[in-house]
Structure 1
Amino acid sequence: MTSPRIAIIGAGMSGILTAIKLSEAGYDNHVLYEKAARLGGTWRENTYPGIACDVPAHLYTYSFEPNADWSQAFATGAEIQAYFEGVASKYRVPERIRFNEGVDVCEFGDGRWHLRTSTGREDVADVVIAATGVLHNPRVAELPGLASFEGACFHSARWDHSVSLDDKRVGVIGTGSTAIQITSALAGKVANFELFQRTPQWIMPIENPTFSDSDKAGFRRDPSRLAAVKAEADAAFQNFSNAVIDADSNEIHEIEAACMMNLEKNVRDAALREKLRPGYRAGCKRLIFSTNFYEALQRPNTHLVTEGIERIEARGVRTRDGQLHELDVLVMATGFVADSFIRPAIVLGKNGKSLDEAWADRPVAYLSVSVPEFPNFFLLNGPNGPVGNFSLIQIAEHQVAYVLQLLDEIRSGRCRAISASHDATARFEAERVVAARQSIWATGCKSWYLDKDGVPASWPWSRERFFEAMARPALEAFERVP
């Protein structure tokens, strides 16, 4: 098969990357399906006040497209979106994108994938690459009376910029990274701000230095200076990666100490401090990085609400102590359905087996890339990948390189179809589960990292092991159709 037709689903960070690398490798017969009118994925959809990446900008950058123009160490969402748009344009990716066209059905039959899109289009591909990401299906809390609220109400990933916040009473439900960033951006800048907390979070203090015009010019003149900044950030994140996979590591104890000191040092009121003190270990939930959350929360007209929510009413939020918190704007910073991946698209593999059936127990993929009985179907940032460990761009670049080697088996004629075997996947998953139980994520908290059995759904080993696993496929772990 000299020129397999390849369908990429999603034009976010990993979809753009895939299109670029396919073209470089000579796979010219490929198309991207994007459900929205613009590319960018997460950074297109999330535009809430204060949005920024919690990975240093020079790490959250394609290795082949370093960026000398980041304004600060942790880039804003708008900057990241502009970066992806610029890279995509440079490599002429938009020419291959079918915008406003999501994929509703992928069905394997007669050795090929048959696709049906939201526009009714029918397409056929030899290979499907799901670059749909992890956090793209918003989770809205099922709160009694939510529909009765008379003010503006929206999920943080669907921010309504037509709603003015000037002199408004704003409430935010949730305390994940998004809620903390919104708090830092809005506290003290609206008439009244209330953060509704179910579970307190550990906050890792960070510095977020800006880069001057002189710094940027220096990066452009001398690429080694830019490489040095990236290497420094990479070393710091490697320390973090080592910490989270071992609940008894020195590194995680150092992180816990830093989070504890941040709380003790920066929250003046003892009662507020105790409300903000988590009852679980730092890192058990996705660790939150912030320069000023505690400072923001202690500003005038800013309040932390820890009473449980009884219901939503026309004028605001009624908590279980009977108090009505009157609001003009209610933001649901309640996260995403993290185990959806390509779903809700219907994916049918060999003999009509659905992905829902294959994942009835929990989402599983060999090395997070390939699912047994789904030939020539590959996932980027799929189940059990290192989502909480390091930069998603690093992950995606290694996964794309791995998938390209599998595609070469098809292009060379050594096989027509390839997918992970059940045995290899079962062995990998059994080993992964054992290791995951030793990680900080398994130390007794509830988080979106955990599956229904309480097992962390992430890569539980070192970054080096991931890179080694991605370096060259062990072809004996795959079933190939000649």
Structure 2
Amino acid sequence: MDEDFEIVIIGAGMSGLGMAARLKEAGRHTFTVLEKAASIGGTWRDNTYPGAACDVQSHLYWYSFGEQPDWSRTYAGQPEILHNLERFAESQGLTEHIRCGTEVTQATWSDEDGRWLLRTARGERLRARVLITAWGQLNLPAWADIEGAERFTGTQVHTARWPGDLDLSGKRVACIGSAASAVQLVPAIAEDTERLTVFQRSANYLLPRQDQALSDDERAGLLAEPHRYDELREGLYRERDGWAVGLRDDGNPVRGEFLRVAEDHLAGQVADEGLRERLTPDYAFGCKRVLISDDYYPAVSRDDVELVCEPITRIEPEGVRTADGRLHDVDVIVHATGFQPLDRTGGAEIVGRNLLTLREAWKNGPEAYLGVSVSGFPNMFMLYGPNTNLGHHSVLFMVECQIDYVLKALGSLDGDRDRTLDVAPEVQRRYNEELQRDLAGTAFAAGCASWYKTGDGRVVNNWPAGIEAYRERTAVFEPRDYTR
């Protein structure tokens, strides 16, 4: 017999847990959260590589509701964030709603009974009136497609699947990739390895991180006087939302100041002129993800660390061969090569009206209305969907806007048990045409290749403005935007 729920959430990461907590707060208890992994935490469960941490200040990277954590640092590391997520799930009474080790393989909409039918890898069948996806944008690792990788006789790992027992002491290590994960990993392992070789395809803009531990007095004061915590959070929020203009491609002063800081940071930390030249980006500021670090430049400046910019031609049993013919002998290859951001289906087959699959609907790239609703998929809402990623702020604020929007949509369903909500095709089309016009004026749409874009250059990951603009767009749920 099928299990019947009002709401099924797929994913128990930051977004899914936040949605579940708000459902309970609203008095909605007939829901379940399906998590394919053995435990909760999403990206903070998966990314356990040395140095893994958040690029947004700790006091911003949390929900606006519930108890605020006692953060130990300006920028929290992965273990602390995961610990706080586990505490949050417990304190909010969510554990009784979460089923770990439950991978959804298919979800199919039925117009006949107005329900989603979900099937899991274990053969379970669940029905839900409303389906909420919270599988994130960056959860499927992307391995570098390099000839000969299968012949390497050493150890190969991906940063998002880091083995807990991996010991790099005295090893010759190759790090393929030099972006967000590598910028954290390289300084964390450089002192342990015999030699570390970093393979860089393109340089990054790097800003100072200015991370520091918080003293016991600072932590106690913030917890004892909640208004100080709120003031700190609000100040950080306003400052960072003002940075959004710096990602406009129009020569504005904020953008100019960011560029100056990045250039000064590089010049101040890298004395070698040749290395500095190789670490200088050749594309517009913000076209690729802007990174923050206090210790990456010093790490790649070490005598036992080499930055290689020659393209990789193949992997051989003993190491990595580059286009100049050189073989880099290594014992371990780390793929710091990111994720598959264009696969937004969480690994499941999502089937909407007229047997339209989400993969088919998105064959030219993901798109949605407000990043939340996709035409042809009734009563399905996405958290952290297309075009809701940010380049300047905590994406959790975007997710909270989406959660509020979904709660309003659920309210519109309450009065009519036969009602369904399917965003009108023309509403979705007009919204995305407007969105792409706005994105055309941003650095995201500049000439470089990045994971923000499809192959034809359409930006499908990022939002073009500040959070307040998105909050305004999602503040009202308009039923007329949806058909039955």
Per-residue CA distance 1:295-341 (angstroms, 9 max, x = gap) = 11112311101111111111111111121111111100111000222
One-letter code aligned to 1:462: G
Structure 1 residue 372: Cα displacement: 0.7
Q: What aligned pairs does 1:284-303 form with structure 2 within 5 A after superposition? A: 284-303=287-306
1:47 aligns with 2:43: no
Q: TM-score, normalised by structure 2?
A: 0.96
**Does 2:458 align with 1:459?**
no
What is the rounded CA distance, in whole Å, between the counterparts of 2:163 and 2:212 in structure 1? 30
- 1:255-297, Cα deviation, whole Å (9 max, x unpaired): 1111111112221001111111110122110110111211111
1:75 matched to 2:76? The reply is yes
The aligned counterpart of 2:31 is 30
Shift of residue 249, structure 1, vs aligned partner: 2.4
Q: Give yes or no for contact 2:69–2:84 (8 Å, CA) kept in 1.
A: no
- Whether the aligned pair in 2 keeps the contact of 1:68 and 1:219 (CA below 8 Å) is no
**Is 1:340–2:346 an aligned residue pair?**
no
For 2:156 and 2:319, how far apart are their aligned partners in 1?
10
Residue in 1 that maps onto 2:235: 232
Is 2:196 the counterpart of 1:193? yes
Partners of 1:266 and 1:66 in 2: how far apart?
A: 39
| 1:408 to 1:68, Cα distance in 2 relative to 1, 3 A | closer
The aligned runs of 1:80-479 (5 Å cut-off) are 80-109=81-110, 110=112, 111-413=114-416, 416-457=419-460, 458-479=462-483
Report deviation, 1:389: 4.0
Q: Distance in 2 between matches of 1:220 and 1:80?
A: 17
Quick one: distance in 1 between partners of 2:101 and 2:316?
36
1:67, 1:247 → 2: CA distance? 38
Distance of aligned partners of 1:112 and 1:53 in 2 relative to their CA distance in 1, 3 Å threshold? same
Which one-letter code corresponds to 1:252 in the other structure?
R
Query: 1:441 is matched by which residue type in structure 2?
Result: F
- Find the aligned partners of 1:396 and 1:117 in 2 and give their Cα distance: 26
Higher mean C-alpha displacement, 317-326 vs 235-244: 235-244
The superposition leaves residues 28-47 of structure 1 with CA deviations (integer Å, 9 ceiling, x where unpaired) of 11011100010000000000
> Alpha-carbon deviation of 1:467?
0.6
Structure 1 letter corresponding to 2:23: L
Q: Report the Cα offset of residue 241 of structure 1.
A: 2.0
Alpha-carbon deviation of 1:231?
2.2
CA contact (8 A) 1:33 1:98 kept: yes
> How many Å apart are 1:66 and its aligned residue?
4.9
Q: Please state whether the residue corresponding to 1:5 is helix, strand or coil.
A: strand
How far apart, CA to CA, are the structure 2 residues paired with 1:167 and 1:389?
38
- Contact 1:238-1:390 within 8 A present in 2 as well: yes
Given that 1:4 and 1:27 are in contact with CA atoms closer than 8 Å, whether structure 2 keeps it comes out as no
Contact 1:106–1:346, Cα closer than 8 Å, also in 2: yes
Contact 1:375 1:418 in 2 (8 A): yes
2:5–2:126: 8 Å Cα contact kept in structure 1? no
CA distance in 2, matches of 1:225, 1:299: 41
User: Contact 1:242–1:251 (CA<8 Å) still a contact in 2?
Assistant: yes
Q: Structure 1 residue 97: deviation in Å?
A: 1.1
Number of paired residues?
Answer: 478
One-letter amino acid of the structure 1 residue matched with residue 45 of structure 2: R
**How has the CA–CA distance of structure 1 residues 436 and 388 changed in structure 2, closer, same or farther, with 3 Å as cutoff?**
same
In the TM superposition, residue 439 of structure 1 has moved relative to its aligned partner by 0.3
C-alpha distance in 2 between matches for 1:66 and 1:275:
45
What's the offset of the Cα at 1:224? Answer: 1.7
Alignment correspondent of 1:59: 60
Q: CA deviation at 1:415?
A: 5.7
Gaps of 5+ in 2: none
* Secondary structure of 1:86 counterpart: helix
Aligned amino acid, residue 449 of structure 1: Y
Q: Distance in 1 between matches of 2:81 and 2:473?
A: 29
Q: Helix, strand or coil for the counterpart of 1:39?
A: coil
What's the % identity of the aligned pairs? 38
Give the CA deviation at 1:462. Answer: 2.8
CA distance 1:214–1:431, shift in 2 (3 Å): same
The Cα of 1:136 is off from its aligned counterpart by 0.2
Query: Which amino acid is 1:338 matched to?
Result: P
Q: Identify unmatched segments of 5+ residues in structure 1.
A: none
Distance 2:172 2:178 in 1: 18
Cα distance in 2, alignment partners of residues 320 and 342 from structure 1 = 36
2:5–2:32 contact (8 Å) kept in structure 1? no
Contact 2:398 2:467 (8 Å CA) reproduced = no
Distance 2:121 2:250 in 1: 45
Secondary structure of 1:398 counterpart = helix
Residue 414 of structure 1: how far off its partner (Å) = 7.6
Which AA in structure 2 matches 1:90?
A: S
Distance, in Å, in 2 between the alignment partners of 1:247 and 1:101 is 47
2:421 is paired with a residue whose SS is strand
Cα distance in structure 2, aligned partners of 1:361 and 1:305: 34
- The superposition leaves residues 428-447 of structure 1 with CA deviations (integer Å, 9 ceiling, x where unpaired) of 01011111110011222111
